[in-house]
């Protein structure tokens, strides 16, 4: 049984996601950047929230929780419970959690923040990554280290390649420009950058993406490739050092 997935644009460039189980009528929200567009998406479909899943503590992912939480179970990282909205269920990686009838995986993805988690819906084939793995990018390192983020991205990279990657922001066009600067000879990236530019000029979302396309085109997932190591001037360096160099180059771009 796979859940229906709806992308809800919020604020300037955030995305929230709804997952709905037609059999039971349960509906989960992933991140709550802003209440009004999420309420509108729910009432347009006649859905009512049963769960709110939070990837990390930043305001642009949690500010809508208070207005949306009535009747819903709020789920977030136990390690970050002190700075998340009050949680009804505090989870840690490896916990058995069921959302909308689906047994989901909680994946530790520190880097952008230290308590950041991702939610994997294996039957639906989707992973909710917030500001860890993003379309053609990854979140800025506000709290964690490059080594932590590399380990986080490596955990996500081991999911089935057909997995749909639901990330938190529409940053893909600027991410594509940076990606081309560090990986200019990659035909898959060239094609995707063109498609992203066309989609954005039509006002279309470029999120979600698939893990397969991220593996082929996202420079932050490609730090282990010999070509990328050479491009970064680090032909013999360990993967996580190459990742750190790519992340630092993006911060300066």
Q: Which residues in this chain contact Zn ion in the complex, by CB under 5 A?
A: 58, 131
Name the residue nearer to Fe ion (CB basis): 131 or 214: 131
Query: 183 contacts which partner out of Zn ion, Fe ion, none, CB within 5 to 8 A by kind?
Result: none
For residue 154, count CB atoms less than 10 angstroms from its CB and return exposed for 0-12, middle for 13-18, buried for 19 or more.
middle
Find the shortest distance in angstroms from Cβ 244 to Fe ion.
Answer: 21
Catalytic residue at 61? yes
17 pairs with which residues across the strands? 7, 30
Please report, for residues 41, 66, 223, the alpha-carbon distance to residue 200 in angstroms, rounded to integers and kept in the order given: 22, 32, 27
Find the shortest distance in angstroms from Cβ 56 to Zn ion.
Answer: 6
* Active-site entry in 20, 58, 116, 120: 58
51 binds Fe ion (CB under 5 A): no
104's CB contacts (< 8 A; 6+ apart) are 97, 98, 119, 120, 121, 122
Residue 175 tokens read as 């991410």
3-state DSSP call for residue 4? strand
Q: Please give the DSSP secondary-structure letter assigned to residue 217.
A: H
Please report, for residues 78, 123, 167, the alpha-carbon distance to residue 97 in angstroms, rounded to integers and kept in the order given: 13, 14, 20
* Active-site entry in 56, 57, 116, 120: 56
Q: Out of 21, 31, 60, 63, point to the residue binding Fe ion (CB under 5 A).
A: 60
Name the residue nearer to Fe ion (CB basis): 14 or 26: 14
Stretch near Fe ion under the rule CB under 5 A, chosen from 53-61, 68-76, 82-90, 225-233: 53-61
* Active-site entry in 21, 120, 169, 183: 169
Between 163 and 182, how does the x/- string for binding to Fe ion read (CB under 5 A)? Answer: -----x--------------
Find the shortest distance in angstroms from Cβ 169 to Fe ion.
Answer: 6
For residue 158, count CB atoms less than 10 angstroms from its CB and return exposed for 0-12, middle for 13-18, buried for 19 or more.
exposed
Neighbours of 211 (CB within 10 A): 24
* Active-site entry in 57, 112, 116, 120: 112
CA distance 121 to 54: 14
Catalytic residue at 58? yes
Name the residue nearer to Fe ion (CB basis): 63 or 183: 63
Find the shortest distance in angstroms from Cβ 55 to Zn ion.
Answer: 8
Catalytic residue at 120? no
Find the shortest distance in angstroms from Cβ 46 to Zn ion.
Answer: 31
Task: Report DSSP letters for 35-58, one per residue.
Answer: HHHHHHHHHHHT---SEEE-S---
Catalytic residue at 82? no
131 binds Fe ion (CB under 5 A): yes
Query: Torsions phi, psi of 73, nearest 5?
Result: -95, 120
Catalytic residue at 57? no
> Which residues are identified as catalytic?
56, 58, 60-61, 112, 131, 169
Binding residues vs Fe ion (CB under 5 A) = 60, 131, 168
């Amino acid at each position: 049984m796979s859940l229906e997935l709806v992308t809800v644009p919020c604020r300037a460039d955030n995305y929230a996601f709804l997952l709905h189980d037609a059999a039971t009528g349960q509906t989960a929200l992933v991140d709550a950047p802003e209440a009004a567009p999420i309420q509108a998406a729910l009432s347009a479909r006649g859905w009512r929230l049963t769960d709110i899943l939070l990837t990390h503590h930043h305001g642009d992912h949690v500010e809508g929780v208070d207005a949306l939480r009535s009747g819903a179970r709020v789920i977030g990282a136990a390690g970050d419970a002190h700075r998340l909205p009050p949680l009804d269920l505090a989870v840690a990686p490896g916990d058995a959690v069921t959302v909308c009838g689906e047994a989901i995986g909680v994946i530790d993805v520190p880097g952008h923040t230290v308590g950041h988690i991702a939610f994997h819906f294996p039957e639906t084939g989707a992973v909710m990554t917030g500001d860890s793995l993003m379309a053609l990018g990854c979140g800025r390192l506000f709290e964690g280290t490059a080594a932590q983020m590399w380990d986080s991205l490596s955990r996500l990279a081991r999911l089935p390649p057909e997995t749909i990657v639901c990330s938190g922001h529409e940053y893909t066009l600027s991410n594509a420009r940076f990606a081309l600067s560090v990986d200019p000879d990659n035909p898959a990236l060239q094609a995707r950058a063109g498609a992203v530019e066309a989609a954005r000029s039509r006002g279309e979302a470029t999120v979600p993406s698939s893990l397969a396309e991220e593996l082929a085109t996202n420079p932050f997932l490609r730090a282990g490739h010999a070509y990328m190591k050479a491009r970064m001037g680090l032909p013999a360096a360990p993967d996580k050092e190459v990742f750190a160099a790519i992340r630092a180059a993006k911060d300066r771009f």
